[in-house]
Chain A
Amino acid sequence: MELVTPAIGLVFWMLVTFSLLLFILKKFAWKPILTSMKEREETIEKSLQEAANARAEMQKLNQQNENLLAEARAERETILKEAREIKEKIVSEAKNAADEEAKRLISRANDEISRQKNAALDELKKEVAQFSLQIAQKLVEKELENNDAQKALIADQLTKLDKQQKATA
């Protein structure tokens, strides 16, 4: 029975000690320890979360970069293609234009040439007619200075005409 009879002194000291223990450890040990543990856990969790986020962000950025690169490559391709097409178009257009121009110039030159030639021919005809008249005038004046000569000339001319008629007949 002695074992299961609580001694009053021990109960008293236990009450005092345990109250002190609870109070002192709560204030100086449990609170700081639990707070530090919690803070550390939160730090670790946050760091892990941040690392995961950073990794995801990196992946996203990489993906974006790749996408951008692919887009840029595609764009370059199209630009180059367009440029090539434009170049070809310009060259062919220029060629056509040059051909036409050349043709136009040639034809104009031909026209000019033929016009100039005709004009020159007309001029020449006029000159020749003038010269012929003048020569004829001079010849006629000289020939017709005397009667005899006029008669000879007319005769001569008439013979010539005859000869000509005979030749044609």
Chain B
Amino acid sequence: MDAPNKQMPYFSALFSGYRTPKILVLTLFYAFFSLGLHASGDEHATEKGHENTHTEEKMDPGKLIMEHISDSHDWHLWGHTSIPLPVIVYTQSQGLSVFSSAHFNHGHDAYKGFKLNEKNQIIWENESNTDAIYDLSITKNVLAMFLAVITLFIIMISVARTYSKRPGQAPKGFVNIIEPLILFLRDDVAKSSIGPKYERYMPLILSIFFFIFVNNIFGLIPIFPGGANVTGNIAITMVLALVVFLTVNFIGNKYYWKHIFMPDVPKAMYLIIVPIEILGVILRPFVLMLRLFANITAGHIIILGFFSLIFIFGAMSPGLGYAVSPLSVAFTLFMSLLELLVAFLQAFVFTLLTAIYIGMAIEEHHHAEHH
């Protein structure tokens, strides 16, 4: 976990007066591919060589990236500094235990019969204990989500206040940023996908969009309070998808259910069509869950991967590490900009599909009434 931080000098080299004209970036971009391909072949050999001499400085980018994109019981800031987060554990035998994650000492110590495994999960110190552990800790992702949501509250409530202060007047200040987004979601997402009854679902649509968008953006900020992979966590996307699933099936009208269980096809086809339709009902939110999770996680992995290149090459020889660093930064920057687009795009796609599913569920088939 501390492995990347021992390479700190590289970071200072990266950020000291780095300025590259566009053409140079492009040149480096193309140069990178030949270099990168060449390097990947040598990687394993070099790593094996280092294992014998400097086991302490061994660099494992896979592990580093996995640690960054998964949840954690403390929030790593820099070097050996991290914020310990509260651990809340419920077990049948011990009831509710609340304590600071600092007691675990980054997985080195056990506390109250619990310890952290190598995947940062809380397990029994006595591994033969099979009692179920319900870990409700305020983890890094939970805290990051809280911070993002509080930010969202502050922004949106202040925007609402601006509106009530200036009724019927032109937008002003921060409203200018939020209003186009809300208008876009209202006119081009909700109104066009749901139809005339869109107003009822606007709070859900807006909440989903801004929750995903703000968390995506926070995830792109490399330092505290950003950097957590909240929307790239399957639990978060699962709950979001669950909300959509429940909403769509709860509001579904008789045409929606008729389309699933009694579609307008010959009765003999029901054996095939009905299971497919039922599968579709489950699959739609499932794909929503996976798409957001995969896109955001992939973005984090790619950015961290490009950054790790510095340390992979640095492990081979420091000179190579320095040489690769501008390239790596340039490409990380490029990816970060792309991720900014993805942050919006994924929030938009999730919201648009939600609106479309809601529209499908409440659509009125007037022609069907005559039959």
Contact = CB atoms under 8 A, between A and B. Distances in A.
Contact of A14 (B69, B199, B236): B236
A11 B179 contact: no
A32 B164 contact: yes
Interface string A15-52: 10110111011101111111011011001000000000
Interface in B173-226: 178-179, 182-183, 186, 199, 202-204, 206-207, 210-211
Contacts of B149: 17, 20-21
Nearest to B88: A9
B116 interface: no
Among A8, A14, A24, A43, max chain B CB count under 10 A is at A14
Interface residues of B, number: 51
A28 B243 CA distance: 21
B135 A32 contact: no
B207 A25 contact: yes
Interface in A129-144: none
B157 A5 contact: no
Interface string B143-175: 001100100110011011001100111000000
B202 A30 contact: yes
A24 B154 CA distance: 11
Contact of A24 (B119, B138, B153, B238): B153
B69 A3 contact: yes
B139 interface: yes
A6 to B, nearest CB: 4
Nearest to B229: A3
- Interface of B, secondary structure class, is helix
A145 interface: no
Interface size class of A (residues with CB under 8 A): 20 to 34
A167 interface: no
A13 B233 CA distance: 13
A48 B41 CA distance: 69
B196 to A, nearest CB: 14
B28 interface: no
Nearest to A20: B149
A8 B134 contact: yes
A42 B167 CA distance: 12
Nearest to B233: A10
Given A7-B71, A22-B207, A29 B160 contact: yes
Q: Which 5 A-B pairs have the closest CB atoms?
A: A29-B156, A36-B163, A10-B235, A6-B235, A26-B203
Interface of B: 66, 69-71, 88, 119, 134-139, 141-142, 145-146, 149, 152-153, 156-157, 159-160, 163-164, 167-169, 178-179, 182-183, 186, 199, 202-204, 206-207, 210-211, 233-236, 238-240, 243, 293, 297
27 contacts: A2-B119, A3-B297, A4-B293, A5-B234, A6-B233, A6-B235, A7-B71, A9-B88, A9-B137, A11-B238, A11-B239, A13-B136, A14-B145, A14-B236, A14-B240, A18-B207, A25-B153, A28-B156, A28-B160, A29-B159, A29-B160, A30-B203, A33-B159, A34-B199, A39-B167, A39-B168, A43-B168
